[in-house]
Amino acid sequence: GQNIDQPTEMTATEGAIVQINCTYQTSGFNGLFWYQQHAGEAPTFLSYNVLDGLEEKGRFSSFLSRSKGYSYLLLKELQMKDSASYLCVVCNQAGTALIFGKGTTLSVSS
C-alpha cells in the first residue's frame, strides 16, 4: 500500500526552530513536495526535493533521504504567521500520481 506519516500536531514558540518529519511508503518515488496551508485557505507550495540532501529557501529548508523514505521540513526563526498545516506530498515512480499526507498542524505561540 501507499502511506505517508507525519505528526498530527506540533507546538513551538516564536523565534524557535521546528522540524516536521515525514516518512513515506509508496510505489516508487519521483519527488517530494511540502505545502503550507493556513486555516481556511488554499495550500501554497513551499519546497520540492527529488535528490537526497537539503534544499534551503530562506527560513525554510527541506531534507530528503530516499533510502530511508524520509523527509523533514525545518522552519527557523518561527513567526506567528507560520501557524498553519504543513502537507508532505510524494509523487509515485511514474510521475503520474500524488500521495498526500494528512498534514501537521503547527501552532506558534508568543
Partner 1 sequence: DAGVIQSPRHEVTEMGQEVTLRCKPISGHDYLFWYRQTMMRGLELLIYFNNNVPIDDSGMPEDRFSAKMPNASFSTLKIQPSEPRDSAVYFCASSLGYPGSNQPQHFGDGTRLSIL
> Smallest gap, in angstroms, from Cβ of residue 42 to partner 1?
4
CB nearer partner 1, residue 17 or residue 50? 50
CB nearer partner 1, residue 94 or residue 110? 94
By the rule CB under 8 A, 91 interacts with partner 1? yes
Q: Which long-range contacts (CB under 8 A, 24 or more apart) does 92-100 make?
A: 92/2, 92/26, 92/27, 92/28, 92/29, 92/30, 93/27, 93/28, 93/29, 93/30, 94/28, 94/30, 95/30, 95/31, 98/33, 99/2, 99/3, 99/4, 99/24, 99/26, 100/4
Per-residue contact flags (x/-) with partner 1 for residues 24 to 53, judged by CB under 8 A: ------xx-x-------xxxxx--x-x---
Question: Can you give the binding site for partner 1, defined by CB under 8 A?
Answer: 30-31, 33, 41-45, 48, 50, 87, 91-92, 94-98, 100-103
